[in-house]
Amino acid sequence: MPNKNFLLLSLEDSKIKVKMKQIGLTFIVLALSIIIIACEPSQKSLEKAITTRAGELKLKYENGKAALSGALSRSTPCVDWQISYGETSNIHPPKSAEFNIFNRNKGVICIQMVGEPQEIKETIENVSENTNYVIKFEDQVVFEGKIGE
């Protein structure tokens, strides 16, 4: 009489199909644990240091998101660093994305005293590790390329 205990696993269309018949529960749990670990997508993390005249920023890609963050010096307390961002295409993930850092209060007359550094952070979602980034600081390009380059 043939052995009717079996576990058949297959990967089709990124889904695991499992067929079981009369097999020990411990073996099933162990087999499924191994498969789940092996099938988890790898989480890639990339970082790039970006130098501006007001300080260094970090552009980081992780889990489909790109974040630009850091501390920028301020010549006066009236300087208010802001970040605008956008994708330059309608496809997802976009082929390129742009961050623009600017002083929201440019041209404002202010008491001349040194301002404290200002922390900034902005995140773009639905990007990939192959997205090309353009980072502008006060309308001057300070970085253009991919994070991993």
Q: How many domains does the chain have?
A: 2
* Sequential pLDDT tens for the chain (149 residues): 555 555 555 555 444 555 555 555 555 544 545 555 444 445 578 999 999 999 999 999 999 999 999 999 998 888 899 999 887 666 667 788 899 999 998 888 877 777 789 999 999 998 988 899 999 999 999 999 999 87
Q: Would you call 36 helix, strand, or coil by DSSP?
A: helix
Sheet containing 45-52: order of strands? 45-52, 55-62, 65-74, 115-125
Residues 124 and 102 in one domain: yes
Within a 13 Å sphere around the CA of 43, how many CA atoms are in the beta-carbon half?
6
**Is 130 within a domain?**
yes
Question: d(Cα 144, Cα 94) in Å, to the nearest integer?
Answer: 15
Task: Say how far residue 100 (Cα) sits from the centre of its chain.
Answer: 17
Residues 52 and 89 in one domain: yes
Residues 21 and 73 in one domain: no
Residues 17 and 70 in one domain: no
CB 110 within 8 A of CB 78: yes
